[in-house]
Copies of this chain bind each other. A is one copy, B any other.
């Protein structure tokens, strides 16, 4: 592996700018932009206003507040000097999680403090710190090159509702699709494997959900009088749900795996390089007693790169205290499918409908309800030009090999990939132990500065790669 030497001009620029950068970030973190609580709507707007002023001050020629029926996003643009240069959109968000339980914080969540290398406060890692390192990065790159504009057109979209479900985000993307047109999307809202194991995410699983209702008699029956002689919808449901997987843990829907893009040998080898402690992972998995899943795949492959069918809820009959000897009239189950590269939610939905119809026993009536179109998986192959370019930038900043991860679920990223039809690149420096969404959220300041450095290298790399 051949790594490029760091650009000392960039390193020094970032070092020199560190204190000012942290001071600015602290000012922003002090604004309690909790999007999930309507009482803080004004603060979310104030956060958008702060960011607008800040980005103007950093030199972005275009900065706008984009209103939604909910809370505002901030959009900024710094065009490349060459109008034919590629465009890259950076995605992040300026709203934060609620801070409850307050008494578990060691410091006030909206009075950020430095503790050695750490900056503590709500939003430090998720996601204000990771949005802001891009400004330091782009200014370092411009200072080092002496140019007046970046080598790609940099667009910045900073959402205000990510922590409350991004409910208006897809519409915003569709409405502004022309302004947002780009050749790649850089996501800076995730984590690396570890401080000493830099990594990039290359895919997120999609999702489609379904609810099945099985109906038998029109009312609950006395099991003394009728038990053993009429179909019991709970038996039918148990049999149906048990048949959803085979003995190897594979989903049995016909055609379910047909379109799956398999992991390459290289990606599997790079996953295997990640220092993964399965016992420790099981502890984070609610103390699960054993790993379990599709045969022939490791735990990381299962959660990142393999599709699943999961029963999220199941119910029917008597569920209260004591006994009630009935044949129940109905049984219900909620199922969700995680989808991976190549799979289409609509196709899986149809396969599930067909499968339920084919596997419902005589005498039981089945109804399948599918809420919405689902979320498509997103995926950027590790050998794609954009991912390779970003990896070079990250490796140059961190001075070591950058490995790959994926994410098991997805949020607004899927909308970005879908609506803008551009590959996603994940350049992020959060850590799993940053306690995002929890008391005492922090970020590692040295990693934020590495993020700025990677961002500084990124535009030149992408300018070449995407041309």
Contacts and interface: CB of A to CB of B under 8 A. Distances in A.
A422 interface: no
Given A224-B409, A315-B315, A316-B314, A291 B238 contact: no
A229 B338 contact: no
Nearest to A309: B228
A378 interface: no
A325 B310 contact: yes
Contacts of A230: 282, 285-286, 288, 290-293
A216 B232 CA distance: 26
Interface string A284-299: 0111111111100001
The 3 A-B pairs with the shortest beta carbon distances in the complex, nearest first, are A224-B409, A217-B286, A290-B363
B303 A338 contact: no
Interface stretch (A64-72, A74-82, A239-247, A252-260): A239-247
A294 B227 CA distance: 11
A239 B249 CA distance: 12
A231 interface: yes
A448 B189 CA distance: 82
Nearest to A301: B229
Identify the interface centre among A232, A314, A322: most chain B CB within 10 Å of its CB: A314
Nearest to A220: B286
29 contacts: A207-B224, A209-B325, A218-B286, A223-B310, A223-B408, A224-B408, A225-B303, A227-B303, A227-B338, A229-B291, A230-B290, A231-B288, A231-B289, A235-B242, A235-B244, A235-B245, A235-B310, A238-B240, A311-B328, A312-B317, A312-B323, A312-B325, A313-B318, A313-B328, A314-B314, A314-B331, A315-B319, A325-B336, A325-B409
Contacts of A245: 235
Interface of A: 205, 207, 209, 216-232, 234-235, 237-245, 282, 285-294, 299, 302-303, 306-308, 310-319, 322-329, 331-332, 334, 336, 338, 361-365, 371, 407-410
Nearest to A365: B289
Contacts of A365: 289
A408 B225 CA distance: 5
